[in-house]
Every structure is written in C-alpha cells, then in structure tokens.
C-alpha cells in the first residue's frame, strides 16, 4: 500500500525525507566551500554559524519553513558579494525551496 508523503513524514524518520537529505548535502557543500575560501570578510563567522544552525535544524526533524528562510537570508547577507560562493548559496536556496515556495509579498 502506498502512503502519501505527509503520512510517511508523520510516521517515518525525517532522514528518509529527500528534501532533508538535499538540504543537508547543499549545506555541507557550502560549508566546505566557505572553509576553503581564502579571503576573509567581515561576516564570515555569521555565515559559518548560521550554516551550522541550518544543518542542525534540518537534522533535528520537521524543519520549519520560516526558520529555514531566515537562515537562508542571514547566510546570503553574510556571504554578500563573494561571487565564488554564489553557486553553493544557490544550491542551498534551491534546497530550502523544496520545503515550500517563497512567500510572495
């Protein structure tokens, strides 16, 4: 018998959720890119801390979309115009979008 996605999430492990897996993978890639990036910038520590928090939030199960979006906004603001990290940031944004569309407003 097939179960809907919502039923599976309510009864199964969040680790089975492909959205969580994708988000955690994207966060891990951006964390590695950030660690390897040679240039220092003023808000680097904020980006590192918020990436760690985002990963912990996703790993904890039942990620809250507003919290994911807040983290994404803080990371984007902290990374700023570091173009070398743009692709990784885009991957994190795409992974957050898997949890639901960005609110319009």
Q: How confident is the model at residue 104 (pLDDT cuts 50, 70, 90)?
A: low
Of 91, 73, 80, nearest to 27 (Cα)?
Answer: 91
Question: Tens of pLDDT along 54-85?
Answer: 999 999 878 899 999 999 999 999 998 899 99
Q: How confident is the model at residue 2 (pLDDT cuts 50, 70, 90)?
A: very low
Question: Tens of pLDDT along 19-49?
Answer: 999 999 999 999 999 999 998 888 999 999 9
Answer whether 20's CB lies under 8 Å from 81's CB. no
Q: Give burial (CB, 10 Å; 0-12/13-18/19+) of 45.
A: exposed
Of 73, 83, 91, nearest to 31 (Cα)?
Answer: 91
Residue 12 has pLDDT above 80, yes or no: no
**pTM greater than the 0.85 cutoff:** no
């Amino acid at each position: 018998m097939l179960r809907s996605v919502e039923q599976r999430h309510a009864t199964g492990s969040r680790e089975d959720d492909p959205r969580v897996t994708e988000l955690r993978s994207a966060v891990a890639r951006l964390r590695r890119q950030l660690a390897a990036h040679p240039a220092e910038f003023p808000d680097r520590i904020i980006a590192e801390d918020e990436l760690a928090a985002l990963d912990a939030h996703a790993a904890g199960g039942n990620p809250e979309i507003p919290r994911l979006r807040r983290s994404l906004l803080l990371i984007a603001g902290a990374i700023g115009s570091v173009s070398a990290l743009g692709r990784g940031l885009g991957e994190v944004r795409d992974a957050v979008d898997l949890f639901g569309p960005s609110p319009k407003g």
